[in-house]
Amino acid sequence: MKAMTPSSPQRPAGVAEIVFEADTIAAAVARVAAEIARDAAAEPVTLVGVLKGALFFSADLARALPPECDARLDFIVASSYGDSHRSSGEVRLLKDTSESVEGKNVVILEDVVDNGLTLQYVRGLLASRRPRSLRSCVLLDKPYRRVATVALDYVGLTAPDTFIVGYGLDYQEKYRTLPYLARLDDRVFE
C-alpha cells in the first residue's frame, strides 16, 4: 500500500490546518454527554448514530456518559455526499436501525450538520415511528448553508465556514481516521 506523503510529522498531505485538536473534541463530547445524561434523568436513552461520519463521535459520546445512565446504542447508515465535497441533496438510507425506536427516548448523533437535509431526513424517519421523545445531538454545527430547518438540542462545536475532515468526516473516504478536525488545502478539490 502506498503511504501518504506527510506535509508535517503529524499531518497527511492535503491537510492545511488543524481546526479542533483531539482534546478540544474530547471536552465538547464530555459536555454534550453530560447534557444528554441530565435531560434523560433516570430514564433509558437510545442513541442512534448516523454512520459513517458519526462512528467515532458515537463511540466516544456513549463512553463519556455517566455509568448510571441507561444508554443503548443503535445506528443507521445514511449518505448524501457520495465522492463530492458538495451534498447531492438526496439522502439515501443504506441501513436502518436494528431495534424499534417506538416509545423510546431517542437521541440522534450526527458528526456534522451542514445543509441539514440528512438530519431532517433521519428525524422524519424516526419521528414517524412514534418515539417517546426525539432529540438531536451534533458534534460540529456548520450553520452557513442551511437548507432544512432542523432543531439541534445538543451542539458540541461550531465550525468555521470551510470543508472539514477528520474524526469521522471524510473527503472521498479519506481523512476519516484522523483524531482531530482539520481544514483541507483548496488544491485537494482541484
Q: Which residues are catalytically annotated? A: 114
121/159 Cα distance (integer angstroms):
22
C-beta separation of 104 from 44 below 8 A: yes
Q: Which residue is nearest to ligand PRP (CB)?
A: 53
Comparison of 72 and 145: residue with beta carbon closer to ligand PRP = 145
In angstroms, what is the minimal distance from the CB of 122 to ligand PRP? 8
Please name the residue ranges forming H helices in the chain. 22-40, 55-64, 117-127
120/129 Cα distance (integer angstroms):
15
Is residue 32 helix, strand or coil? helix
84/87 Cα distance (integer angstroms):
7
Comparison of 37 and 80: residue with beta carbon closer to ligand PRP = 80
- For the four alpha carbons of 18, 31, 46 and 109, in that order, the dihedral sign comes to negative
Binding site for ligand PRP (CB under 6 A): 50, 52-53, 78-81, 87, 110-119, 170
In angstroms, what is the minimal distance from the CB of 129 to ligand PRP? 19
Comparison of 69 and 123: residue with beta carbon closer to ligand PRP = 123
In angstroms, what is the minimal distance from the CB of 10 to ligand PRP? 23
